[in-house]
């Protein structure tokens, strides 16, 4: 499979645990940037796989839950500080 900059991928060798966006592609390797984590990694092209729609949707749901939880906590902390 041919990969290009901007593609969403996972690494087979890590059981597709993290979603990445390809930042750069060479003949044999890709430079990857984590979508959820501040993470840069490189991987051989044969280790990359395009995630399924289900995997992408699962990622979106988890990210949205994290954002909602963080926002709720931040608002609660802010509200508590103005009451003190």
For residue 42, give the CATH number of its domain. Answer: 2.30.30
What's the whole-model pTM score? Answer: 0.72
pLDDT tier at 53 (50, 70, 90 boundaries)?
Answer: very high
Residue 25 burial (C-beta neighbours within 10 Å; 0-12, 13-18, 19+): middle
Mean pLDDT of the chain: 86
Instruction: Encode pLDDT of 18-41 as tens digits.
Output: 899 999 999 999 999 998 888 999
* Residue 76 belongs to domain spanning: 52-84
Question: What's the number of domains the chain is made of?
Answer: 2
Residue 84 predicted with pLDDT over 60: no
Residue 48 predicted with pLDDT over 90: yes
Q: Are residues 77 and 56 in the same domain?
A: yes
Q: Which is nearest to 11 in space by CA: 39, 27, 62?
A: 39
Enumerate the β-bridge partners of residue 54.
none
């Amino acid at each position: 499979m041919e990969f290009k900059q901007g593609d969403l991928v996972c690494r087979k060798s890590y059981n597709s645990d993290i979603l990445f966006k390809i930042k750069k592609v060479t003949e044999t390797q890709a430079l990857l940037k984590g979508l959820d984590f501040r993470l840069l990694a490189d991987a051989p092209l044969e280790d990359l796989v395009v995630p399924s729609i289900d995997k992408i949707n699962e990622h979106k749901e988890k990210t949205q839950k994290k954002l909602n939880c963080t926002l709720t906590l931040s608002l609660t902390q802010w509200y508590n500080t103005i009451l003190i």
